[in-house]
């Protein structure tokens, strides 16, 4: 029973985080109040959560699109770290697994180039 309640709280929290991200709250923290359990997550933390979720679901293009939308809106260190994490994780995948997700090693390379350009990294 307690485990079920915990899982329900996690699902509700994840849904509310996704709504906060999609609502485009600029530089505003998302407050989530779940049955006396308060949690405050920054946009950057929500972005990392969403990217990890998309990766686990094989939704790589959605993850990349979400990532670049966030980077263009807020170019900061935490979002750069999330971007590097994203491409590092994908670089560990075999080409066949990437292709099943409509992605490729060359897209990883291009994405990293785009990140370097966006952040003006030499």
Contact 31, 40 (CB under 8 A): yes
Q: Looking at the whole model, is its pTM more than 0.85?
A: no
CB hemisphere CA count around 54 (13 angstroms): 22
Mean pLDDT by 10 residues, the chain (122 residues): 57 60 50 60 92 96 96 94 97 96 96 95 86
pLDDT given for residue 4 in this prediction: 54
Q: Is the dihedral of CA 22, 23, 25, 28 positive or negative?
A: negative
Every domain of the chain and the residues it spans: 2-118
82/79 Cα distance (integer angstroms): 5
pLDDT given for residue 22 in this prediction: 58
């Amino acid at each position: 029973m307690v485990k079920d309640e915990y899982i329900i709280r996690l699902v509700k929290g994840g849904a509310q985080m996704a709504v906060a991200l999609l609502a485009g709250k600029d530089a505003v923290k998302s407050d989530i109040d779940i049955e006396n359990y308060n949690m405050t997550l920054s946009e950057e933390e929500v972005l990392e959560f969403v990217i990890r979720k998309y990766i686990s679901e094989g939704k790589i293009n959605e993850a990349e699109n979400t990532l670049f939308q966030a980077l263009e809106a807020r170019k900061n260190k935490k979002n750069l770290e999330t971007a590097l994490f994203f491409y590092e994780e994908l670089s560990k995948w075999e080409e066949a697994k990437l292709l099943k997700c409509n992605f490729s090693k060359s897209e990883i390379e291009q994405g990293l180039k785009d990140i370097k350009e966006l952040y003006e990294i030499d």
